[in-house]
Amino acid sequence: MSGPKETGGECLTILLAGPRGFCAGVDRAILIVERALEKFGAPVYVRHEIVHNRFVVESLEAKGAVFVDELDQCPTDRPVVFSAHGVPKSVPEAAEAREMIYVDATCPLVSKVHRESEHHHRKGCHIVLIGHAGHPEVVGTMGQLPDGAMSLVETVADVYALDVPDDKPLAFATQTTLSVDETRDILAALRERFPDIRGPKKEDICYATTNRQAAVKEIAQDSDMVMVIGAPNSSNSRRLVDVAREYGCPKAQLIQRAKDIDWDDFDGVKTLGITAGASAPEVLVDEVISACRDHFDQVTVREVVTAEENVEFKLPRLLTA
């Protein structure tokens, strides 16, 4: 067949961002569910999506995982895993009260934010959390402290509208999956309004979020379109779309699978940037590249690597004993 197969352009160059896809926290969370299934047999219950990706969730369901919204949907005689995003303290307390076996798959970098928040609270601080309302990680972090001990801000405007106690020092913490640039502006506003506000020893935004955003910045300026493979409820994936648009590619979009691609959008697209959120497996990237090969006569893939990652997190002792 001569010419393009469906899209209107003969050749397509794909700029493949690196790093992309699974981070160490997601790898660990998925492995925790798989090891729990091996140790305890099916079913193993999981409170909330272990990570924000339907492909991953459905793959684990096929192995015997049962995903539920709340703990009271789990029988007491089967183990339950808490998702990588973290949970309020009330959840493991309820599991203990019901004498359940539970495994906490909270990403260690999220746990670090929890510990820092508790540390500042013990020092008498009121905590300002930078994050997105309703996100499971934010719910989990705010649930580490008593009601009223933490205030949430999402924007610079929120900072200037913030009402905090006058008799307490302030400290801040950050959701780990935010936009690096957006958070920088919010932090600048916090420090301008509250010069003595205390922060973490090391920034809360995780290495994987930072690295994936840096890689997208690198490919966006040379791409006619950027596709981010990830779930619509994945904060880090949505931020990658925002970053691509801000750094030179207004035609950036989020897709979950190759079947979601609208090939009519490819008019005038000769260079396609591709990345994947931290909870999207590489098989979905391969699937999108394969679909591109089906729609173009010639596809050239060039990987653009801006960082190397070798982070690994240990599994909970319950699963390694």
Rounded CA separation 69/84 (Å): 14
CATH number 3.40.50.1370 is the correct assignment for the domain at 109-204? no
Alpha-carbon Rg for the chain, nearest whole angstrom, is 21
pLDDT at 201: 80
Length of the chain (residues): 321
Q: What is the pTM of this model?
A: 0.93
Rounded CA separation 247/127 (Å): 32
Q: Are 211 and 307 in contact (CB under 8 A)?
A: yes
Domain 24-104: which CATH number of 3.30.465.10, 3.30.70.990, 3.30.1180.20, 3.40.50.11270 = 3.40.50.11270
User: Where along the chain do the CATH 3.40.50.11270 domains lie?
Assistant: 24-104
pLDDT at 6: 52
Straight-line distance from the first to the last Cα atom of the chain, in angstroms, rounded to the nearest whole number: 59
For the chain, percent helix, then strand, then coil, each to nearest 5? 40, 20, 40
List of the chain residues with pLDDT < 70:
1-9
pLDDT at 110: 97
Q: What pLDDT digit, counting tens, does each position of 3-18 carry?
A: 345 544 589 999 999 9
- Selected catalytic residue, list 137, 154, 192, 303: 137
C-alpha atoms less than 13 angstroms from C-alpha of 76 in its C-beta half-sphere: 6
Residue of 242, 134, 123, 125 whose CA lies nearest to 181:
242
pLDDT at 64: 98
Which own/partner contact pairs does 57-65 have at CB distance under 8 Å and 24+ positions apart? 60/30, 60/33, 60/34, 63/34, 63/37, 64/37, 65/33, 65/37
pLDDT at 202: 82
Encoded amino acid at 81, one letter: V
10 among known catalytic residues: no
Rounded CA separation 8/148 (Å): 57
User: Where along the chain do the CATH 3.40.1010.20 domains lie?
Assistant: 11-22+207-305, 109-204
User: From the CB of residue 152, how many other CB atoms can be counted at a distance below 10 Å?
Assistant: 18
The CATH number assigned to the domain with range 11-22+207-305 reads: 3.40.1010.20
